[in-house]
């Protein structure tokens, strides 16, 4: 008979007795099936005697039989288990008792969480900083500068900030450098685009002037064959250009917003909203941590022991990686020290697991979710920002089962933003 004893809403104990005859029957069944498949020298395929199979694969057959019977116990217990199982069951007892085998299995399920409206007490009222006209104008100027054009300058001599259009040839030990020459090359003076000291030596040149420039390549220069070596460049200034910021008008708005019907006023509103969103993110960030701390403190819920242990192991491994080899060796050789080390992180592990369940329940209550499209968009965007192949990053997340973790992080962020948005004064 199978019984289920509820320890709490997240942990249950299944008890059962398995008749040894049942175990023997299961072993015979597995051995018979195996005899049809295995290939053993001296016997025709599918004609291997069962007793030979048992002799060769006895331990494996026994373990498979035990697994099958334990699964039968779990299947029978399933209808009596409340909640959704969220971790592998753990056999804590498998004891021979004469003609019976006593079995105890721990089951871990999603805990009961009774969320009343008091969670809203954790969310403070928010006053957002205003966006001034000066801030909008300043950002507008930056946009105009970023979309500047160049024109031939009437200046007599080259100054910092100008664009020098140059011909140049580089030499090391009197020999031409490989890939060390160029024609009509536009170089912004002060941009740091060339080797240190190169651009500064061009200042004061006149159009048509030729000048020899000496520089030393940095020791950590990418091309090792010339790293740390002195070089001489023959440079001729072809033209001086200067940057002209784009006009702040409707045309700028059309280009920046990529919309033929855009106006300057729409661009200003777009800038204002962008600044506001940035300020909102800065204002929300410290409040989110306080909300999470409050939620953990406010709700007391049962936690699945296996999930807490898994989280504890993760934290301990992360912290152990920070230790010196000597400290790590001491932990490995001293059980008492290891226990002390692990005990330091138990509360943190419990709180992290607790928070996961609370956030999941709150998200359902608030109607917050993250679709697969949103999930992949975030991965795609982050991969592009870091210069990585989005498809390879997505594959990495899939193969390492990281998508559920990322999804929960995004749900948490979305939920906290929603709760805070509702507390913004004046909205």
SS3 state at 110: coil
Q: For CATH 3.10.50.40, list the domain ranges present in the chain.
A: 150-244
Q: State pLDDT tens for residues 348-407.
A: 999 999 999 999 999 999 999 999 999 999 999 988 888 889 899 999 999 998 999 999
Look over the chain and give the mean of its residue pLDDT values, rounded to a whole number.
91
CA distances, 207 to each of 167, 188, 201, 211, 330 (Å): 12, 15, 15, 11, 71
What is the pLDDT at residue 427? 55
What is the pLDDT at residue 1? 80
Cα separation, 229 vs 216, in Å, equals 6
What CATH number was assigned to the domain covering residues 3-108?
3.30.70.1050
Residue owning tokens 């979305």:
414
Burial of 172 (0-12, 13-18, 19+ CB in 10 A): middle
What is the pLDDT at residue 352? 95
| Residues of the chain scoring pLDDT < 50 | none
Q: For CATH 3.30.70.1050, list the domain ranges present in the chain.
A: 3-108
What is the pLDDT at residue 422? 92
Q: For CATH 1.10.3120.10, list the domain ranges present in the chain.
A: 284-421
What CATH number was assigned to the domain covering residues 284-421?
1.10.3120.10
Residue owning tokens 């975030």:
378
Cα separation, 416 vs 149, in Å, equals 43
What is the pLDDT at residue 48? 80
Nearest to 320 by CA among 309, 332, 311: 332
CB 185 within 8 A of CB 199: no
Architecture of domain 150-244: Roll (3.10)
CB 85 within 8 A of CB 11: no
Nearest to 160 by CA among 190, 193, 195, 194: 190
What is the pLDDT at residue 98? 84
**Entry pTM:** 0.72
Beta partners for residue 90, in sequence order: 106
DSSP state of 173: T
């Amino acid at each position: 008979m199978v019984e289920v004893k509820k320890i709490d809403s997240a942990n249950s104990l299944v008890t059962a007795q398995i008749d040894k005859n049942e175990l023997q029957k299961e072993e015979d069944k597995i051995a018979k099936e195996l005899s049809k498949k295995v290939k053993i020298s001296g016997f025709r395929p599918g004609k291997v005697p069962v007793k030979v199979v048992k002799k060769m694969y006895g331990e494996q057959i026994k373990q498979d039989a035990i697994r099958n019977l334990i699964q039968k116990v779990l299947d029978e217990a399933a209808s009596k288990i409340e909640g959704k199982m969220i971790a592998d069951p753990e056999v804590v007892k498998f004891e021979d008792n004469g003609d019976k085998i006593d079995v105890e299995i721990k089951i871990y399920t999603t805990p009961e969480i009774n969320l009343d409206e008091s969670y809203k007490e954790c969310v403070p009222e928010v006053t957002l900083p205003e966006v001034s006209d000066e801030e909008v104008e300043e950002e507008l100027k930056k946009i105009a500068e970023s979309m500047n054009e160049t024109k031939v300058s009437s200046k007599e001599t080259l100054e910092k900030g100008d664009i020098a259009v140059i011909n140049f040839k580089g030499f090391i030990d009197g020999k031409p450098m490989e890939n060390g020459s160029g024609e009509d090359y536009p170089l912004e003076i002060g941009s740091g685009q060339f080797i240190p000291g190169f651009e500064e030596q061009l200042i004061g040149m006149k159009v048509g002037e030729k000048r020899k420039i000496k520089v030393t390549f940095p020791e950590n220069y990418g091309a090792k064959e010339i790293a740390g070596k002195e070089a001489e460049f023959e440079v001729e200034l072809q033209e001086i250009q200067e940057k002209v910021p784009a006009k702040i008008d409707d045309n700028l708005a059309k280009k920046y917003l990529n919309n033929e019907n855009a106006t300057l006023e729409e661009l200003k509103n777009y800038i204002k909203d962008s600044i506001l969103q940035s300020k909102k993110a800065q204002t929300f960030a410290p409040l989110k941590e306080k909300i999470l701390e409050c939620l953990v403190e406010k709700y007391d819920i049962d936690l699945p022991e296996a999930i807490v242990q898994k989280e504890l192991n993760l934290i301990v491994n992360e912290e152990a990686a920070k230790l010196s080899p000597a400290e790590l060796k001491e932990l490995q050789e001293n059980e008492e020290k290891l226990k002390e080390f692990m005990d330091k992180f138990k509360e943190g592990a419990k709180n992290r697991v607790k928070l996961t369940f609370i956030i999941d329940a709150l998200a359902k209550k608030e109607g917050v979710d993250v679709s697969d499209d949103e999930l992949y968009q975030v991965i795609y965007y982050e991969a592009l920002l870091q210069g990585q192949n989005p498809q390879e990053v997505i594959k990495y997340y899939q193969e390492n089962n990281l998508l559920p973790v990322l999804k929960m992080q995004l749900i948490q962020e979305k939920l906290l933003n929603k709760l805070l948005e509702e507390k913004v004064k004046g909205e």
